[in-house]
Amino acid sequence: DTGVSQDPRHKITKRGQNVTFRCDPISEHNRLYWYRQTLGQGPEFLTYFQNEAQLEKSRLLSDRFSAERPKGSFSTLEIQRTEQGDSAMYLCASSPEGSGEKLFFGSGTQLSVL
């Protein structure tokens, strides 16, 4: 079990640039989640995939955010035209089939927008 891996671990970018993060879930897990976390807050739900289908997206997610999970394996999260308010830890998690299953989180990508 190699766990959930995220890349990069840290990203510094200038306002207005586009950034893309990658998540490799545990191989047999069907469900994949993206969360955003700022200092002193809990993880905030962004979007969720079951296999390659994006089943839910937070209403808080602006049009500048897009996520994909081609072939139901790894996932990417892209932020276009980054703003300083996008600075946060972006966490990916995966879980096997079923509701209430525990989530396995990656170590996250820390984004700083200057």
Partner 1 sequence: SQKIEQNSEALNIQEGKTATLTCNYTNYSPAYLQWYRQDPGRGPVFLLLIRENEKEKRKERLKVTFDTTLKQSLFHITASQPADSATYLCAFWRSYIPTFGRGTSLIVHP
Q: CA–CA separation, 4 vs 1, rounded Å?
A: 9
Range in contact with partner 1 (rule: CB under 8 A) among 12-20, 32-40, 60-68, 69-77:
32-40
Range in contact with partner 1 (rule: CB under 8 A) among 12-20, 68-76, 80-88, 92-100:
92-100
Among 56, 62, 85, 96, binds partner 1 (CB under 8 A): 56
One-letter identity of residue 90: Y
Tokens 């170590």 -> residue:
107
Range in contact with partner 1 (rule: CB under 8 A) among 14-22, 62-70, 74-82, 104-112:
104-112
3-state secondary structure of 64: coil
HEC readout, 3-46? CCEEECCEEEECCCCCEEEEEECCCCCCEEEEEEECCCCCCEEE
Residue 11 touches partner 1, criterion: CB under 8 A: no
Residue 87 touches partner 1, criterion: CB under 8 A: no
Residues of this chain that bind partner 1 (CB under 8 A): 4, 31, 33, 35, 40-45, 48, 50, 55-56, 91, 93, 99-100, 102-108, 110
